Amino acid sequence: MELLFWLAVGLLAFTYAGYGVVIWAVNKVIKPGKIISETEEELPDVAILIAAYNEEDFIAAKICNTMQLDYPSSKLHIYVVSDGSNDRTNAIIGTFENVTLLYEPARKGKTAAINRAMTFVNQPVTVFTDANVMLNKLALAKMVTHYADPETGGVSGEKRVIEEGVDSASSTEGLYWKYESFLKREDARMSTLVGAAGELFSIRTHLYEALPEDTLLDDFMISMGIIVKNYRIAYEPDAYATELPSLNIAEEYKRKVRIGAGGIQSLIRLPQLLNPFKFGLLTFQYFFHRFMRWTFAPVLIVSAYVLNMMLVTEGIIYAVLFELQTIFHIASFVGWYCERKKIKVKLFFVAYYFNFMHFCIVAGWFKYFKGGQKAAWDKSTRIISLS
């Protein structure tokens, strides 16, 4: 029993803390190579692909933001794929010149829309970005420098969640993404990113392969599909997309459950990445950065607490660890209560959000295996203003 307890604690600790420390330390010892910058004359033509479904609140600002990027306008081509939109999205897009609208009345989901849109793209680099995020002016210029390396098949930008003026459990998403950005940066420095951020990432267009239309995490599967072809996904923190957190925890729940369902679907479809003899270091990264989080982590959290309860009389270390775990879970419950009562105590929200994420992963498992998570999902509502 003691062995099982320490195994559970050790795996959890390494997954959420030790892994980051190890790759950071390795990168400190082994310095990454320099990136070769491209001159303006060498800048490639870029397709900006925006998938939009009923985005009337954001689409005008998004297109304006895209047009104002610091990139030669003659090399910037904007495509908006709007499948099934029945609000003012298409009408708003129609007011802009030099924007290609790809509209299809039937709504089959984001992956189907991207598959269809990519048949129209003929630029060497395609940038995928969400309709409800804004990019910094140098985003494209920073990203394309990485393509000077022929081994780079894609480049991911950074997701930044705006927290100013927002204080709820859903806003703790910003803290999570700061840590996730650290891991992404160190992953990329070591070898490759393990999955790109859907808010902003780019690929060499010719590497794109159509995905099954029921794919739930299109960004992850597109980027991993490039990695299995022996290309790397680079990371560019100076290219970033800003986004507000979900409107409330109920909206964040919908988003996290979809990610949980998509995570287990992705793992089922990428079994080859667990073969260290074929993928070497990538398997190590994939196992601790993705596989553990999407599979065993929720089970290990429960197991560590239950086993600790059974071992509490076996020594002072077990008693102390049990007290610490209990305090953490009580803090999580208090965070849940504060969220319901709209009481702003950010300290408790961290514990609450951690347990909330893992609950959503389990809920996502059940939804996926019951067939309840559809590709044409309802997006989570976010706060409207991005000013």
Question: What phi and psi values does residue 233 have, to the nearest 5 degrees?
Answer: -105, 115
Rounded to 10°, the helix 296-311/2-13 angle is: 140
> Residue 21: what pLDDT?
95
Contact 112, 83 (CB under 8 A): yes
Half-sphere exposure (Cβ direction) of 48: Cα atoms closer than 13 Å: 31
Helices (H), 199-345: 218-227, 249-269, 276-279, 281-286, 292-294, 296-311, 316-341
Q: Give the model's pLDDT for residue 172.
A: 64
What backbone phi and psi angles, to 5 degrees, belong to 267? Answer: -65, -40
Provide long-range contacts, Cβ within 8 A and 24+ apart, for 322-327: none
CB 193 within 8 A of CB 164: no
Q: In which residue are the tokens 């002016």 written?
A: 137
Cα torsion through 138, 140, 144, 145, rounded to 10: 0
Q: To which residue do tokens 């990445």 refer?
A: 273
Residue 107: the pLDDT is 87
Number of Cβ within 10 Å of residue 373's Cβ equals 21
Query: Distance between CA 267 and CA 283 in Å, rounded?
Result: 12
3-class DSSP state of 23: helix
Check residue 387 and give its pLDDT: 44
Q: How far apart are CA 381 and CA 364, in angstroms?
A: 19
Taking each helix axis from N to C end, the angle separating 173-190 and 19-29, rounded to the nearest 10 degrees, works out to 40
> What does the DSSP 8-state code read for residue 82?
E
One-letter amino acid at 201 equals F
Q: Which residues, 6+ apart, have CB-to-CB distance to 184 below 8 Å?
A: 156, 158, 193, 197, 235
- pLDDT value, residue 3: 93
Q: How many CB atoms lie within 10 A of CB 321?
A: 18
Please give the structure tokens belonging to residue 263: 């995570």
Q: What is the pLDDT along the chain (387 residues), one digit of tens a residue?
A: 889 999 999 999 999 999 999 999 999 888 665 455 555 558 999 999 999 999 999 999 999 999 999 999 999 999 999 988 999 999 999 999 999 999 989 888 999 999 999 999 999 999 999 999 999 999 999 999 999 999 999 999 999 887 655 555 555 666 777 888 899 999 999 999 999 988 999 999 999 999 999 999 999 999 999 999 999 999 999 999 998 877 777 888 888 999 999 999 999 999 999 999 999 999 999 999 999 999 999 999 999 999 999 999 999 999 999 999 999 999 999 998 988 887 877 788 889 999 999 999 999 999 999 887 666 656 656 555 544
Helix (H/G/I), strand (E/B), else coil: 73: helix
Residues 62, 75: Cα–Cα separation, whole Å: 18
| 102 and 117 Cβ atoms separated by less than 8 Å | yes
Q: Where does the chain have alpha helices with state H?
A: 2-13, 19-29, 59-67, 89-93, 110-118, 139-144, 173-190, 218-227, 249-269, 276-279, 281-286, 292-294, 296-311, 316-341, 346-369
79: helix, strand or coil: strand
Output the CA–CA distances (angstroms, integers) from residue 284 to 210, 217, 219, 292, 368, in the order listed. Answer: 27, 21, 21, 11, 26
Domains detected in the chain:
1-387 (3.90.550.10)
Q: Are strands 76-83 and 99-104 parallel, antiparallel or unpaired?
A: parallel
